[in-house]
Amino acid sequence: MALIVDTSSRRARDAATTLGSRYSFVEEADADLGVVVGGDGFMLRTLHRLLDTGHRLPVYGLNLGTVGFLLNSFEVEGLGERLADAEPTVLHPLRMRAEAEDGRESVYLAVNEVSLLRASAQSAHVRITVDGQLQVEDLYGDGVMVATSAGSTAYNRSAGGPIIPLSAPLLALTPLAVFAPRGWKGALLDADTTVHVEVLDPAKRPVYAAADHHEVGRVHAVSISQVRDADLTLLFDPHHTLEGRILREQFR
C-alpha cells in the first residue's frame, strides 16, 4: 500500500510520520491500494490525479480535514484490520465537453458536478436539451449544474437539488438561482443521459463552465455525460459507508 499525504497540511504531515513508523508503505506506482491522509478537498484532487494518470488504485481515506465525507475517521491503530474489512464503493465521473468562444474544445472529468455559471453581472441565458430533446428553451439565472450521486450532497444540495442514493443510477439537473422558467426546480435524469447546454447570448451574458475545480471561461456550449468505463474505487469502514452517509444526509 502507498501513503498519499496532503503535504500542505501540517496535521496530515505529522500523521503520515506516525503512520510511517508503524506500517510499511511502498511507492504509489508499486501499490495495490492507497491510504490518503487529508481532507475532502485533497481526496478529490487525488481522485482527479488518478483519473488523469490512469493508475486507478483503490483508495482508503483517513480524515484530517473538516467534514471528511469521502474519508474514514483517522486512527493510527488497527489500520491493517480496517483495510481488510473495508467495503468498496465505485464512482463513475462525469465528462464535460466544453466549446469555448474561439471554437476550441476542452474535455474534463468531474467526480461531483459540472456547473455552468454566469461570468458577469448579467444573468446567464441558456437552452437545455436532454438526449437531443429540447427541455428548457430559455433559462435565465445564475446557471445550471449536473451532479452525480456522490456530489449530490455538496454544491447540488446547497443549491436546493435532490440528494441521490449512491445505488440509484441517476443524475441531478439543478438550476442555480433561476428566475425563468419560474418555479422550475430541476430534474432527475437517467445516468446514461447526455445533457447539452447552449449559451444563447455569450457576448452580452458570458458563461463559464467548471468540472469540479477545472474551469473553462466563456463557453458557447457544453455537453455532459457519465463515463461508465472510468471507475474510481473508494474504501470505507463497514459501519460508515458512503451509501450510509448519503442516506443520513436526507434526514438532516
Catalytic residue (choose from 6, 40, 142, 212): 40
Contact indicator for 191, 226 with CB cutoff of 8 Å: yes
Q: Are strands 207-211 and 34-38 parallel, antiparallel or unpaired?
A: unpaired
Give the list of residues 6+ apart from residue 200 with CB closer than 8 angstroms, or none: 125, 126, 127, 138
**Residue 40 bears catalytic tag:** yes
Give the list of residues 6+ apart from residue 157 with CB closer than 8 angstroms, or none: 163, 249
Q: Considering only CA atoms, which of 32, 45, 39, 7 is closest in space to residue 86?
A: 32
Spatial separation of the C-alpha atoms in residues 165 and 216, rounded to whole Å: 29
Q: Considering only CA atoms, which of 231, 236, 205 is closest in space to residue 218?
A: 205
Catalytic residues: 40
